[in-house]
Structure 1
Amino acid sequence: MSIVGMDAEVPAGTVVIVIDVIRAFTTAAVAFERGATDIVCAASVEAGRDLRRLHPDRLLIGETGGLKPADFDFGNSPFEMSTARLDGRRFIQATSNGTRGLVRHPSPAALLAVSARNVGATARWIGKHHAMTPCMLVCTGETAEDRACATYLDDLLRGAEPRREDLIAGIMDGAAEHARGYARQPAAERVDLSRDLPFCCDVDRSAFAMVGEIRQDHVVLARVPC
């Protein structure tokens, strides 16, 4: 089992677990909790727009530079998802790291999206379906939260009992890194994570894995109870 960055080469036939805690796959998990039926993950904002033109009934969610594009229905925000009526709706999601990282793996044994919110369910799904298959944990960001989630999941898969407090501390460290980066941006380009962080830190709230089905130019995530 290996923890790698988004640009690492991942061998075919590996279980690929793509991690984005702040905020793409926390947003996706909350959307599923609120009744979304599936989420098409696009490699870029433009690819998301192209898919929306093909499927105008789908809601388009995501970000560029952390902020919601004007023509998107929602930003990359679990808080926004938590206040929306989403029962039966289908989504297209396009983000700078999470969805872009998800579509980079054409030949995995299985492909999963994970955040702290569904990390335990993800471990259970892998243990049930791919216990003997090599795994690669892909951190799509360079800040502390994705590495903390990967370490926590790695421990679960190895049969250890990691501490939630350590994972939450790693997420908060990552949020502080994001905040320092945004503070250097012009005011109009800064992202306020304060309403999203409680959702990002809510470990194991979602009792489902998010399993990807690979299509020609995108990945469709489905909610799989565990």
Structure 2
Amino acid sequence: MSIIGMDVEIPPGRVVVVIDVIRAFTTAAVAFERGVSEIACAPSLDAARDLRQRLPDHLIMGESRGLRPADFDFGNSPFELSTAPLDGRNLIQATSNGTRGLARCSAPAALLAASARNVTATARWITANRADAPWTLLCTGRTAEDRACADYLADLLGAPHPGRAGVGADAEPSNAELVAGVRAGAAQHADAFARRPASEFVDLADDLAFCCDVDRADFAMVGEVRGDHVVLRPVG
């Protein structure tokens, strides 16, 4: 059982949960809430463009340095997806961290994507389907929100964690602590964006409420590795 970053090798045969709270897998969760049935996750923008040639019925969403590429249908924004005209369409997604993290997992026992929005559903799926398998939680970003989500998920899975209560203890993990971690991460992102030119600034204000909405989604996002990409589907 481990919590790791993007620079650590992932052994095969483990349950791997790839975490990106701000914003890739919050955006994906909102898309599924809106009726999307699958998201093809690409490891790069060019790979996403190639996928669009092969999947012409899919819309494409994502970001480069936080901003929507000009030829993409949507950015990497849960707020935007919450009102987007999806019309029963499926999606392709490419982001700097989240979808790239999925691409690092070539031989998992199971592969899931998570954010605060579906963290308990993720733990429930693992407990029901892979309870005896070792797991790895992959924090795709370096800011506070992904680690806060990983700690919360580890608690739900009952992992020993110094100074924290596991699911088998009397206390449940704290939603408030997770939300505080997401907000701390958002502040770190904002500090980084503030040092950029005005044309490269990313405003997270409208997205933050979606990222902090713990357990709004009642499904896990389960991945299927398909060679050069991973297909996510919601599983309740």
* Pairwise CA distance, 1:81: 0.6
Which residue in the other structure is 1:217 paired with? 228
Q: Percent identity?
A: 68
1:175 to 165, 168, 186: 186
CA shift, 1:74, in A, is 0.3
How far is 1:204 from its partner? 0.1
Residue 87 of structure 1, CA deviation? 4.4
CA shift digits 1:3-55 (9 cap, x unpaired): 00012111111000000000000000000000101000000011001111121
Shift of 1:86: 2.3
Residue of structure 1 equivalent to 2:216: 205
Tell me the amino acid that sits aligned with residue 81 of structure 1. L
Quote the RMSD (CA, aligned, Å): 0.7
Q: How many residues align?
A: 225
TM-score w.r.t. the length of structure 1 is 0.98
Contact persistence 1:121–1:206 (CA under 8 A): yes
Alignment of 1:1-226 (within 5 A): 1-158=1-158, 159-160=167-168, 161-225=172-236
CA distance in 2, matches of 1:85, 1:182: 29
Asked if structure 2 preserves the Cα contact closer than 8 Å seen for 1:13 and 1:109, the reply is yes
Q: How far is the alpha carbon of 1:70 from its aligned partner?
A: 0.4
**What amino acid sits opposite 1:77 in the alignment?**
S
Name the aligned partner's letter for residue 181 of structure 1: A
What is the CA deviation profile of residues 196-222 of structure 1, one whole-angstrom value per residue up to 9, with x for unaligned ones?
Answer: 000000000000000000001000001
Secondary structure of 2:206's partner?
A: coil
Q: Does the CA contact (< 8 Å) of 1:45 and 1:94 recur in 2?
A: yes
Mapped partners of 1:28, 1:70: distance in 2: 20
1-side partners of 2:187 and 2:66: how far apart?
A: 15
> For residues 90-145 of structure 1, what are the alpha-carbon distances to aligned partners after superposition, in whole Å with 9 as ceiling and x for unaligned?
10000000000011111100000000000000000000001111000000000000
Counterpart Cα distance in 2 of 1:192 and 1:47: 26
Task: Measure, in 2, the Cα distance between the counterparts of 1:37 and 1:14.
Answer: 25
TM-score under structure 2 length normalisation = 0.94
- 1:168-223: per-residue Cα shift (whole Å, max 9, x none)? 00000000000000000000001000000000000000000000000010000011
Q: Is the 8 A contact 1:34 1:85 kept in 2?
A: no
**5+ residue gaps in structure 2?**
159-166
**2-side partners of 1:7 and 1:45: how far apart?**
21
Aligned residue for 1:196, secondary structure, equals helix
- Structure 1 outlier segments of 4+, above 6 Å: none
Partners of 1:122 and 1:46 in 2: CA distance:
30
